[in-house]
Amino acid sequence: AQSVTQPDIHITVSEGASLELRCNYSYGATPYLFWYVQSPGQGLQLLLKYFSGDTLVQGIKGFEAEFKRSQSSFNLRKPSVHWSDAAEYFCAVGRVNDYKLSFGAGTTVTVRA
Amino acid sequence: EAQVTQNPRYLITVTGKKLTVTCSQNMNHEYMSWYRQDPGLGLRQIYYSMNVEVTDKGDVPEGYKVSRKEKRNFPLILESPSPNQTSLYFCASRYRAETQYFGPGTRLLVL
């Protein structure tokens, strides 16, 4: 069975500073990997995904993530955070055979002025 | 517009009173699933369906039922709700390994 760990429950960052959210996964084969964002009171929106190919993936809203197979990681980054990036972020890993998604517990990002 | 809809969006009920949360998608997706979201636990899959009449348990299926009689609809049934089923529920759909689309969520309170 696959699993996802997001080690940071809560991160506070200043507006304009860089942001990195960590995600580690456990899965026996090459996984599908996703990052979703959930703004307060909203549903989930896909930021980016990795299926294969280039390990550096660009997403919406200026986010990118890098797949590192040797470290079983898929960390999310943004060079300069905006106040509107305050939200909860979820990493997810998908299974190749039946596409079942497993989510991490989420990281809440607070942006201070 | 491609979307997943859920109804109701908010629901307060009492222990033991059967309820159904509907989910519908207009993208002709084969794969649909239900999740519950609880603080500190992220999203946990309740049930999923890979096609009409094909359903299977996710990680937390106890106390829930589903059916998939039509491709577009995937209702979640709580036969006898209990307070520990108070949660935020999301329906989702996708085509194979492609992007998963989420509904807006249903916030359920069981008294």
pLDDT of residue B11: 96
Residue A58 CB burial class (10 angstroms; 0-12, 13-18, ≥19): exposed
Of B31, B94, B102, the CB nearest to A43: B102
pLDDT above 90 for A92? yes
User: Cα torsion for B60, B102, A93, B66, to the nearest 10°?
Assistant: 30
Q: What's residue B76's pLDDT?
A: 98
Nearest chain A residue to B106, by CA: A43
Chain A residues at the B interface, defined by Cβ less than 8 Å, are 4, 6, 9, 32, 34, 36, 42-44, 46, 49, 51, 90, 92, 94, 96, 98-106
Would you give the DSSP letter of residue B103? -
Per-residue H/E/C for A35-100: EEEECCCCCEEEEEEECCCCCEEECHHHCEEEEEHHHCEEEEEECCCCHHHCEEEEEEEECCCCCC
Residue A99 pLDDT: 65
**What pLDDT is stored for residue A101 in this prediction?**
83
Task: Using CB atoms within 10 Å of the CB of residue B42, give its burial: 0 to 12 exposed, 13 to 18 middle, 19+ buried.
Answer: buried
The residue of chain A nearest to residue B97, with distances taken between CA atoms, is: A99
Return d(Cα A50, Cα A74) in angstroms, integer: 9
Q: Do B94 and A99 touch (CB under 8 A)?
A: yes
- Predicted pLDDT at A41: 80
Nearest to A21 by CA among A32, A41, A36, A31: A36
Shortest CA gap A111–chain B (Å) = 20
> Nearest-CA neighbor of B45 among B69, B74, B70?
B74
* Contacting residues of B for A102, CB less than 8 Å apart: 45, 59
Q: What is the pLDDT along chain B (111 residues), one digit of tens a residue?
A: 889 999 999 999 999 999 999 999 999 999 999 999 998 888 999 999 999 999 999 989 999 999 999 999 999 999 999 999 999 999 999 887 778 899 999 999 999
Model pLDDT for residues A35-63, shown as the tens digit of each residue: 999 998 888 999 999 988 889 999 999 99
Structure letter (DSSP) for residue B85: G
Tokens encoding B76: 């979640």
